[in-house]
Structure 1
Amino acid sequence: MCGIAGLFHYESVKPVDPRRVERMCDALVHRGPDGSGVWTAPGVGLGHRRLSIIDLEGSPQPMASADGRAQIVFNGEIYNYRELRRELGQMGAKFRTDGDTEVILAAWQRWGPDCLSRLNGMFAFALYDTEKRELFLARDRLGVKPLFTARLSDGSLAFASELKGLLAHPLLRREVDPLAVEDYLAWGYVPDHRSILKGVEKLAAGHYQLLKHGAPPAAPVQYWDVSFADRHTGSEADMSAELLHHLRQGVASRMVSDVPLGAFLSGGVDSSSVVALMAEGSAQPATTCSIGFDVKALDETTYAQQVAEQFGTRHHARTVDPDDFTEIDTLAAMFDEPFADASALPTWRVAQLAREHVTVALSGDGADEAFAGYRRQVFHAREEQARSMLPAKLREPVFGALGRFWPKADWAPRFLRAKTTFQSLARSGAEGYARALSVTDEAGRAALYTPDFLRARGDYRAETPFIEMMENAPARSGLDAAQYADLKFWMPGDILTKVDRTSMAVSLEAREPLLDHRLIEFASQIPERQRIKGAQGKWLMKHTMERYLPKDILYRQKQGFVMPITEWFRGPLAGEARGIASNAVLARTGWFDTGRLGRIAEEHISGRNDHGRLLWQLLMLEKSLVRLGIG
């Protein structure tokens, strides 16, 4: 795992100052504290920060191909590099190292862009072909590893693993994109189709981009997608057996390492499944790490301890204070862009704990998206059944009226909170699911904005790209479309961004075995009745893992990392809540109605309404703007 950065002059072949590339890389030192390097040639510069995982001494970067005709900087891991190395060796390729980086170079020289279909891994890399005089940028299928790009005023394209690498370049404009603010307030993060800064882009998951001197950068090309349009037709037993094969394959492939390796263990289905298969595939006890809280309602350490004892792991647990808000500035600095998923705090804490014992940690991320494990997906499947029984002409007036007049009852038991369901049923499936996933809905956002900001936003609405993705998804059902959008929109923008930044902040490599693309492709074809049974999501995976895990681990209610932000803003952060309205940073932007912000803060502090998530969004936005030098 590493950090990469570089410059490519596409308008003309200008010399690249290696010190400029070095400064960009120095901003990424946390991603690669074990080594650094810069390579330049007319019109191009590549830089690298290394975290040594494979071939510890023999694979420094930037790396040249055996014939010297190509150079690469690479962030990630190729899990099938040994198989590819044998195949390429039989075709005449020569290798001087024992790592995976040189395999990418040889694969490019043999297959060109088609090499990506042969790589099983997580990666973002930049490869310069000195013969063709072109730069090849690529990102892995699911978007585990990030890559930011920006066109600069001197006719060059800059790229880096994180926005902070681009921020180290003096020509980068620091002008906020108002549409990114709209996106952020809707989702709690800036999705991959946009960046907080105008002119900065993120290479999308499963895409590559080819750049040539003397030509404007070509549009990115999609080389992989997942389809929910087909269905497995075998028996339930056959599907379970095939699923177990893919699960084992995903875990085993990610256990290759020349440094100590372990796993995050929350005690939930996904991390417990990973640990069970690690134990099955290794003669040595696995190292596991978990974080607990001294508030019983938030704590899952007893379940993690239960799994650790069952599989004889070397288990490390730490209890942290749920009022762990003193590191907010540090957290904002990790992400550069505003990021309001409060579970980033405990994710960072468990990464810190893991780094004390290992350099690589396996996580359980990806299973909920792939196998329909989120409660919202189960609700959506039920709502889609209701929609199928009533035409839209009846649904809109009936459920729309009920949604308007039904009282809002956040305090009530879940089955009595019908207002949100009625509002969702009045809309299309895609519109309803977008509403369920959003943090702040369209009406709530509009009430925050000033007239000037509303004019700058224009007709754009944050939900539109998400709804269009669902409506155009290769899918048979509404549940298919929801899972597709979760995998393509939510997961890279929120989940994978969170894990990448928090783990890399402590120089820890996180690997996601449940995001092996072969497993994802298999999961997308599981019939709905094997994904959801009754109120139970992720059914086939849970059923398959019954041979390894007890039912109280598999079938208990999903909890996840939950932080008490509602209580924070009524207690120790009440002053921060009140300060949001008068804060000079947000006030100077002219984006928000400060009177409205003040009323929101007082409503929350008094307990009349719960605005905790919105206040957290605004606070993290303020911290991010300061970080970007805009406040």
Structure 2
Amino acid sequence: MCGISGIFDTQGTRDIARALIARINDSQAHRGPDEHDVHLEPGLALGHRRLSVIDLAAGQQPLFNAEGTVGIVFNGEIYNYRDLTAELQALGYRFRTRSDTEVIVHAWSAWGESCVHRLRGMFAFALWDRREQTLFLARDRMGVKPMHYAWLPDGSFVFGSELKVLTSHPDFVRELDPLAVEEYFTLGYVVDPRCIYRNAHKLPPAHTLTLRRGEKNRPTARQYWDVSFTNDSTITLQDAQAELRDRLREAVRLRMVADVPLGAFLSGGVDSSAVVATMAGLSSTPVHTCSIGFDDPRFDESTYALQVAERYRTDHRLETVSSEDFDLIDTLAWLYDEPFADSSAIPTYRVCQMARKHVTVALSGDGGDESLGGYRRYRMHLGEEAVRGRMPLALRRAMFGPLGRLYPKADWAPRPLRAKTTFQALAMDSVQAYCHSMSQLRGDARRALFSQAFQRSLGGYGVLDVFRQHAARAQTDDPLALIQYLDYKTWLVGDINTKVDRASMAHSLEVRSPLLDHKLVEWLATLPSDFKIRGGQGKAVFKQACEPLLPHDLLYRPKMGFSVPLASWLRGPLKGRVQQALLGERMHGCGFFNPSTVRRLIDEHNSGLRDHATALWMLLMFEAFLRLNDGAAGH
């Protein structure tokens, strides 16, 4: 696990200063504290920060083949590298290391751009072919590892694991993208491939980008893989449970290869508990497990984690986080480089911080909810779809549209009485309704928050455009499969994977996610949707498959999530900071917001009249981003 960076002169071979590549490479030193190096040649600079996990003695990067014609900087893990090594050796390639990095170098020589189809793992890499004068970038199928890039005014190309690599280059223009701001205040993150800056881009998951020196036109990223929801498997439910256990075991086994201490996160939820149970069955020694507890019982799952730890006799460590643990705002703003509003980044940061004291690699349960239908919103969407399927859109708009406008926003009420959002969703088509349900701030709230000048700068753009583009490529009419696909393209990549990557790499911790194994994802996409949500129960086939492994009350209890008490923080210990930050000159001067709306949100929240925690936290994190990026133009 590492941080990578580079600069490429696309039109010539101008010299690149060693001090420049060293500086931008060191901006992400936290990603790789063990070793660092750079490679320079006319028109090219490659940088690498290494967290040593496999072949500690000989896996240094940038790594070149014996002839010096193909080199790479690589972040991630190739879990099938031993099989690929044997295959490439049979083709005549000779290896100087035992690392998975060298596998990619020879795979390129053997198979060219199609080498990515052979790789099973999480990866982002840049590969330089000197003979072809070609720079090849690739990102893994599920978007576990990040890749950012930009073209500079002089035609040079700069790339890196984190956005701070780009902003560390003196020629990068920090001009904010209004469309990215709209995405952030809709979803809480900026959606791939957009970045908060106009000139920067994220390479989307399952995409490659090929640059050839001398080409006049800027290349576009190409997709090499996509998940296909066929939902057409004829397997029985009982056989699916057995096969799911086998496939999970294989995915876990592949991720237990490491030359450093390895363990797992154990939250007390179904997914991480299943991963730990599987690891215990594959290990001859106790599994190292780490849990975070909360001193507020509304958010604490540590007792369930302890059940699993005791059952499998793991080497378990628990640390309790105070419900007043809100001092990470500036740290997170620096770490994520863009506005990022998922408050569960705080406990995620803490559990990674704790785990790194004991292990270098940790397995997690990320991806289970998306692949197996675990979110409550999935069940709600299917319920709404049943209504939408019985009534034409025009009739639903006429009936539910006025109800959605007139019904009060009852944040304080029991969940069944919070019908405003449901009425609004029933007046929409399926894709619009799901985008609506995923929105942290919905259209009317954003219109009230944004200034008229900022709204004009959007030119009518909204995140719904992104959802419709993805939906058009989903090639499924199954209601659950469609929203799972949309989550793979937006939420999973932009929120979950981003949160875990930055939080873990802040502590030089490698996190591996067996439930994001692309072969497992492909197989799960063939299962009928009623295997996933059955009798009102999410992740039905998975929970049934895990019944021999885990306690019944853990499997079938309500999902809690990794939450923090935002509303009370913002009314209590953060009250002064909210007032100072959100009503200060920085937020007023950027011109994006309506000051009277910001004041109203603060006053109503402080009085207890309304719960505006989501909006205020988003504004607070945006202000922290602006404060740390005062050189940005356009605000």
TM-score range, shorter-chain basis? Answer: over 0.9
2-side partners of 1:621 and 1:281: how far apart?
A: 44
**TM-score, scaled to structure 2:** 0.98
Shift of 1:193: 2.3
1-side partners of 2:602 and 2:38: how far apart?
A: 49
Shift of 1:346: 0.2
**Structure 1 counterpart of 2:71:** 71
**Structure 1 counterpart of 2:433:** 432
Aligned partner of residue 316 in structure 2, secondary structure: strand
1-side partners of 2:444 and 2:104: how far apart?
A: 48
- Is residue 76 of structure 2 the alignment partner of residue 109 of structure 1? no
Shift of 1:621: 0.5
Deviates more, 1:460-469 or 1:171-180: 460-469
Instruction: Return 5+ residue gaps in structure 2 as ranges.
Output: none
1-side partners of 2:27 and 2:140: how far apart?
A: 23
Contact 1:581 1:595 in 2 (8 A): no
**Structure 2 counterpart of 1:3:** 3
- Is residue 263 of structure 2 the alignment partner of residue 262 of structure 1? yes
- Matching residue's letter, 1:94: R
Q: Number of aligned pairs?
A: 631
After the TM superposition, which residues 225-624 of structure 1 pair with which residues of structure 2 at under 5 Å, given as runs? 225-624=226-625
Aligned partner of residue 125 in structure 1, secondary structure: strand
Shift of 1:416: 2.1
Shift of 1:405: 2.6
Contact 2:64 2:71 in 1 (8 A): yes
Shift of 1:18: 2.1
Contact 2:142 2:516 in 1 (8 A): yes
Q: 1:207 to 1:187 in 2, by over 3 A?
A: same
Contact 1:434 1:467 in 2 (8 A): no
Aligned partner of residue 47 in structure 1, secondary structure: strand
1-side partners of 2:607 and 2:408: how far apart?
A: 20
Sequence identity (%): 51
Shift of 1:471: 4.2
1-side partners of 2:413 and 2:36: how far apart?
A: 56
Contact 1:13 1:213 in 2 (8 A): no
1-side partners of 2:471 and 2:482: how far apart?
A: 5
Shift of 1:608: 0.7
Contact 1:360 1:509 in 2 (8 A): yes
Aligned partner of residue 490 in structure 2, secondary structure: helix
Please provide the CA RMSD for this pair: 1.1
- Matching residue's letter, 1:438: S
- Matching residue's letter, 2:278: L
2-side partners of 1:409 and 1:47: how far apart?
A: 52
1-side partners of 2:479 and 2:342: how far apart?
A: 26
Contact 2:264 2:364 in 1 (8 A): yes
Contact 2:231 2:529 in 1 (8 A): no
Contact 2:291 2:318 in 1 (8 A): yes
**Structure 2 counterpart of 1:141:** 141
- Matching residue's letter, 1:618: L
Alignment deviations for residues 476-510 of structure 1 (CA, whole Å, 9 cap, x no partner): 31211100010111111000000000000011001
**Structure 2 counterpart of 1:31:** 31
Contact 1:39 1:46 in 2 (8 A): yes
Instruction: Return 5+ residue gaps in structure 1 as ranges.
Output: none
Alignment deviations for residues 415-459 of structure 1 (CA, whole Å, 9 cap, x no partner): 222221111011001111111111001111111111211111111
1-side partners of 2:628 and 2:146: how far apart?
A: 20
2-side partners of 1:158 and 1:44: how far apart?
A: 10
Deviates more, 1:355-364 or 1:186-195: 186-195
1-side partners of 2:400 and 2:526: how far apart?
A: 32
Contact 1:81 1:103 in 2 (8 A): yes
- Matching residue's letter, 1:327: L
- Matching residue's letter, 1:90: A
Contact 1:186 1:463 in 2 (8 A): no
- Is residue 61 of structure 2 the alignment partner of residue 61 of structure 1? yes
2-side partners of 1:431 and 1:375: how far apart?
A: 18
Contact 2:30 2:507 in 1 (8 A): yes
Q: 1:581 to 1:628 in 2, by over 3 A?
A: closer
- Matching residue's letter, 1:499: V
1-side partners of 2:387 and 2:527: how far apart?
A: 22
Contact 1:62 1:73 in 2 (8 A): yes
2-side partners of 1:399 and 1:471: how far apart?
A: 26
**Structure 1 counterpart of 2:221:** 220
2-side partners of 1:198 and 1:214: how far apart?
A: 24
1-side partners of 2:23 and 2:29: how far apart?
A: 10
Contact 2:126 2:138 in 1 (8 A): yes
Shift of 1:542: 0.7
Shift of 1:580: 4.0
- Matching residue's letter, 1:274: V
Aligned partner of residue 428 in structure 2, secondary structure: coil
Aligned partner of residue 280 in structure 2, secondary structure: helix
2-side partners of 1:464 and 1:566: how far apart?
A: 31
Contact 2:128 2:136 in 1 (8 A): yes
Shift of 1:230: 4.1
Q: 1:602 to 1:630 in 2, by over 3 A?
A: farther
Shift of 1:630: 3.8
Shift of 1:310: 0.5
2-side partners of 1:593 and 1:529: how far apart?
A: 46
**Structure 1 counterpart of 2:15:** 15
Contact 2:582 2:623 in 1 (8 A): no
Alignment deviations for residues 324-369 of structure 1 (CA, whole Å, 9 cap, x no partner): 1122111111101010000000000000110000000001000100
Contact 1:64 1:71 in 2 (8 A): yes
Aligned partner of residue 625 in structure 1, secondary structure: helix
